[in-house]
């Protein structure tokens, strides 16, 4: 039986906690813990050992950014991925959190589909569906999510972060058509949203970099793309 992922909520608003837990019920199979006191956040993370942390950037009696910095400075918690929740939509506020080590952000108020997509994408990057080595292989393609390294027939590929995320999604689901909406929602590397028009550009660049293996990525008319080994 697969291990149930653990998620730590660092949030002071009970209503938001309830909405998050309701959204998580869509994904299913989560063990959650809630802490509202920023002074107890690191201690709770050390004890609970979460697979993912959702952190409110505005906390009573403390700044979520200070909590994030403390989490990333602690050897026992620094490897845990963090998605921070913010009511601040300016680019500068988002960049500050990302530069401190957050993996993604969600702006409040958020929808259940957006939140679950962000959670799934971050967990996928840290816990990819791969073999014992953690490397995903399909049709001569080799992707190492931990090292963020890609090869085709042994040849290294130089990929942009978004290109790697898109290729990882396709390679993790060989033969399956992934809709454009799915690829857009789940390609959230470094918290930067993927624009619809940009998706086509990234696919075009991926095919160019794959060279003779460009046919691995197939277009499914009016639906999306799939990787066919």
Q: What is the mean pLDDT of residues 37-56?
A: 92
pLDDT of residue 1: 42
In order of 142, 178, 194, 199, the CA distances from 183 in angstroms are 19, 7, 9, 8
pLDDT tens digit sequence for 162-218? 888 899 888 887 887 887 877 877 765 444 455 566 888 999 999 999 999 999 999
Pick the more confident residue, 127 or 27. 27
CB 121 within 8 A of CB 172: no
Q: Looking at residues 141-170, what average pLDDT do you find? A: 89
Helix (H) or strand (E) holding 84: strand 82-86
Q: pLDDT value at position 128? A: 47
CB-count exposure of residue 60 (10 Å: 0-12, 13-18, 19+): exposed
Domains 6-126 and 136-227 share a fold: no
Q: How far apart are CA 219 and CA 227, in angstroms?
A: 9
Q: In CATH, what class is 6-126?
A: alpha beta
136-227: CATH topology:
Arc Repressor Mutant, subunit A (1.10.10)
Q: What is the pLDDT of residues 102-142, one digit of tens each?
A: 888 888 888 877 888 888 878 876 654 444 457 888 888 99
Task: Look up residue 140 and give its two tokens.
Answer: 């001569």
Is the pLDDT assigned to residue 45 strictly greater than 80? yes
Tokens of 15: 């209503």
Q: What is the pLDDT of residue 196?
A: 60
Per-residue pLDDT of 61-86, as tens digits, reads 778 889 998 998 888 888 888 998 88
Which pLDDT score, from 0 to 100, does residue 181 have?
77
The CA–CA distances, whole Å, from 91 to 106, 157, 191, 193 equal 12, 30, 11, 12
Question: Can you give the residue ranges of every domain in the chain?
Answer: 6-126, 136-227
Q: What's the mean pLDDT in 3-16?
A: 87
Residue with more model confidence, 99 or 48: 48
């Amino acid at each position: 039986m697969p291990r149930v992922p653990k998620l730590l909520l660092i949030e002071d608003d009970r209503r938001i906690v309830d909405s998050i837990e309701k959204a998580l019920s869509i994904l299913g199979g989560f063990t959650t813990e809630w802490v509202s006191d920023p002074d107890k956040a690191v201690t709770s993370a050390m004890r609970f050992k979460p697979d993912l942390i959702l952190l409110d950037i505005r906390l009573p009696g403390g700044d979520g950014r200070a909590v994030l910095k403390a989490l990333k400075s602690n050897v026992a918690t620094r490897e845990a991925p963090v998605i921070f929740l913010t009511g601040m939509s300016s680019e500068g506020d988002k960049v500050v959190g990302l530069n401190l080590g957050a993996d993604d952000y969600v702006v409040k108020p958020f929808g259940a589909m957006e939140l679950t997509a962000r959670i799934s994408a971050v967990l996928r990057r840290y816990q990819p569906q791969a073999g014992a080595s953690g490397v995903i292989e399909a049709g001569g393609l080799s992707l190492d999510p931990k090292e963020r390294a890609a090869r085709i027939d042994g040849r290294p590929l130089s990929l942009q972060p978004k290109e790697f995320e898109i290729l990882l999604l396709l390679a993790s689901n060989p033969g399956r058509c992934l809709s454009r909406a799915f690829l857009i929602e789940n390609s959230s590397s470094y918290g930067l949203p993927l624009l619809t028009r940009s998706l086509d550009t990234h696919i075009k660049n991926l095919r160019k970099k794959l060279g003779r293996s460009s046919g691995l990525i197939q277009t499914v008319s009016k639906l999306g793309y799939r990787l066919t080994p």
